[in-house]
Amino acid sequence: MAHFGRRIMQLFSLALVALVSVATALSTSGSKLLVVLDPSIKKQDYSIFFDDLKGRDFDLDFRAANDPNLSLVSFGERAYDQVILTLPPTQKALGPNLLAKPLLEFMTSGGNILVLLNPTGHALGSVREFARELGIHLPFRDTKLVDHFHYDAATSPELHDTVILDPATDLVAVPHLEVDSTKKILYSGSGFALDNNHLLFPILRASDTAYVYDPAEELLESDAPFVSGTQAYVVAGIQARNNARAVIIASSSMLSDEAFNAADSANRELAAGITKWTFQETGVIKLKSVAHKLANTVEENPQIYRVKQDIIYEAEISEWIDDKWVPFVADDVQLEFTMLDPYYRLNLTAVGVSGDSEVYATTFKAPDQHGVFTFNLNYKRTGLSYIDDKRTVTLRHFGHNEFLRSFEIPNAYPYITSLVVVVVAWMLFIVLWVFSGPEKAPEKKTQ
């Protein structure tokens, strides 16, 4: 009987461990990953890349681009948490569920997308439309990125289309995207230009001497390149307002085994950093709680304050690092106290740690203006999840029994003094008037 009981406890322990392992997945958005891969693309050419994803607890589902049963949404819910869209060189169009509208709807529902463009051909119309919605302009024809000063002489001694990018200068700073600056990034493919979308940001750009040209012109010095210099980008990312993320890489060859295994190559580190950010394994912060109250009181989040009262505002923020939540440390968290326009814009100061969160707080005096006000915590930084929290409160004026009495206002002392002087002088005048009248004349005696 005791042996049976121990067996039950062992099974329970195993089930508990399995449950905890699922609950502590590396990605905060989920582990179901769809890989759209054309049969003409050899999976073994990207084996290291896919094995690294599997090693981070992702459940990969490989499907063909023209699979009629492929759907990103099932019964109103996302069928996948993440999507890797590898453009096939042999397909003229993607399936109906991989058009621009379904992809955008997938992001609207919170899904993340990684698009790997074909290194040997131009992008399909649906992908071009999807990229244009994000603010990325892809070249219309089959183009190549070349650099006559920074190229790999072993693989492209004449065309110079296998360029070498320097992580120290060409990699744009993104939180938790770190690459060894002593290594090099090998790239072979095209480039694209970026629009003025404030949600869009570059990740990897070309060097000053690079440019994108059309090989059909058979010119290495194009008079009118599609884009040139540091305005040519090969990796760019966007984070939507709902914190869904998308990254477009101009060439899938950057993630191939050949690029990973090259001498002094930083491609594998870069691929890990890009995918971790795209699939919300890094750069994820959350607002755990918000509280506001009067100074020297216990009651939190009252709906009504009075003008000129001292108010305390506190916010707890956490960051997802290495499969757990830890306190998020920053020095640029701000609070706006607004009506129509911000009355106050205050810096929040870290005052301590509460569990897995950093506590930020500030104390301020309510403005002398009654109305409806909003506590607005709007924290948006490149590469980090957005925090946008608004709490509405009412600011009332003084009650009739809450105004200061005259004797409590120093500026009223002259007026009070003048009033007292007038009253005293009037009383003295009355007394003098009554008791100091004219003397009566003596009466005359009559016979």
User: Which residue has tokens 């999976």?
Assistant: 43
pLDDT at site 121: 62
114 in any annotated domain: yes
User: Which residue has tokens 């649906």?
Assistant: 126
446 in any annotated domain: no
pLDDT at site 226: 83
Residues 335 and 213 in one domain: no
Which parts of the chain sit beneath pLDDT 50? 1-24, 220, 222
The Cβ of residue 233 has, within 10 Å, a number of other Cβ atoms equal to 24
User: Which residue has tokens 């957005």?
Assistant: 386
Which domain covers residue 336, as residue numbers? 285-396
Q: Which two tokens stand for residue 43?
A: 């999976």
447 in any annotated domain: no
Query: Looking at this protein, which amino acid is placed at residue 67?
Result: D
According to DSSP, the β-strands at 304-306 and 387-396 are parallel
pLDDT at site 444: 67
pLDDT at site 6: 46
76 in any annotated domain: yes
445 in any annotated domain: no
Q: Are 312 and 363 in contact (CB under 8 A)?
A: yes
Question: In angstroms, rounded to a whole number, what is the distance separating the alpha carbons of residues 374 and 366?
Answer: 12
Residues 210 and 358 in one domain: no
Question: In angstroms, rounded to a whole number, what is the distance separating the alpha carbons of residues 137 and 192?
Answer: 6
According to DSSP, the β-strands at 324-327 and 310-321 are antiparallel
pLDDT at site 19: 38
Residues 121 and 250 in one domain: yes
Residues 82 and 115 in one domain: yes
pLDDT at site 402: 83
Q: Which two tokens stand for residue 316?
A: 């707890």
pLDDT at site 66: 79
295 in any annotated domain: yes
pLDDT digits (tens, 9 = 90+) for 129-150: 999 999 999 887 778 899 999 9
Rg (Cα) of the chain, in Å, rounded? 36
pLDDT at site 37: 84
pLDDT at site 11: 41
The three-state (H, E, C) secondary structure of the chain, written as one string: CHHHHHHHHHHHHHHHHHHHHHHCCCCCCCCEEEEECCCCCCHHHHHHHHHHHHHCCCEEEEECCCCCCCCCEECCEECCCEEEEECCCCCCCCCHHHCHHHHHHHHHCCCEEEEECCCCCCCCHHHHHHHHHHCEECCCCCCEEEECCCECCCCCCCCCCEEEECHHHHECCCCCCCCCCCCEEEEECCCEEECCCCCEEEEEECCCCEEEECHHHCCCCCCCCCEEHHHCEEEEEEECCCCCEEEEECCHHHHCHHHHCCCCECHHHHHHHHHHHHCCCCCEEEEEEEEEEECCCCCCCCCEEECCCEEEEEEEEEEEECCEEEECCCCCCEEEEECCCEEEEEECEEEEEECCEEEEEEEEECCCCCEEEEEEEEECCCCCCCEEEEEEEEEECCCCCCCCCHHHCHHHHHHHHHHHHHHHHHHHHHHHHHHCCCCCCCCCCCC
pLDDT at site 91: 62
Question: In angstroms, rounded to a whole number, what is the distance separating the alpha carbons of residues 297 and 414?
Answer: 37
Residues 157 and 116 in one domain: yes
Domain boundary among 243, 278, 313: 278
Question: In angstroms, rounded to a whole number, what is the distance separating the alpha carbons of residues 394 and 339?
Answer: 10
276-296: buried (b, 16+ CB within 10 Å) or exposed (e) per residue? bbbbbbbbbbbbbebebbbee
Axis crossing angle, helix 267-278 with helix 47-55, rounded to the nearest 10:
50
CA-wise closest residue to 164 among 261, 45, 259, 272: 259
Domain count, the chain: 3
Axis crossing angle, helix 100-108 with helix 125-134, rounded to the nearest 10:
40
39 in any annotated domain: yes
Domain boundary among 278, 293, 318: 278
Which residues share a beta bridge with 213?
144
- Report the Cα 79 to chain-centroid distance in Å: 24
Question: In angstroms, rounded to a whole number, what is the distance separating the alpha carbons of residues 366 and 327?
Answer: 29
Q: Are 94 and 227 in contact (CB under 8 A)?
A: no
Q: Are 267 and 204 in contact (CB under 8 A)?
A: no
CA-wise closest residue to 234 among 212, 217, 213: 212
Residues 169 and 316 in one domain: no
Question: In angstroms, rounded to a whole number, what is the distance separating the alpha carbons of residues 161 and 38?
Answer: 25
pLDDT at site 88: 61
Residues 291 and 200 in one domain: no
Residues 235 and 298 in one domain: no
Residues 98 and 196 in one domain: yes
Residues 76 and 163 in one domain: yes
According to DSSP, the β-strands at 112-116 and 82-86 are parallel
pLDDT at site 90: 55
38 in any annotated domain: yes
Q: What CATH number should be reported for the domain holding residue 337? A: 2.60.40.10
User: What region, left, alpha or beta, does residue 46 occupy, with left being phi > 0 and alpha being psi -120 to 50 degrees?
Assistant: alpha
Residues 33 and 115 in one domain: yes
Q: What CATH number should be reported for the domain holding residue 30? A: 3.40.50
Residues 269 and 388 in one domain: no
Q: Model pTM?
A: 0.83
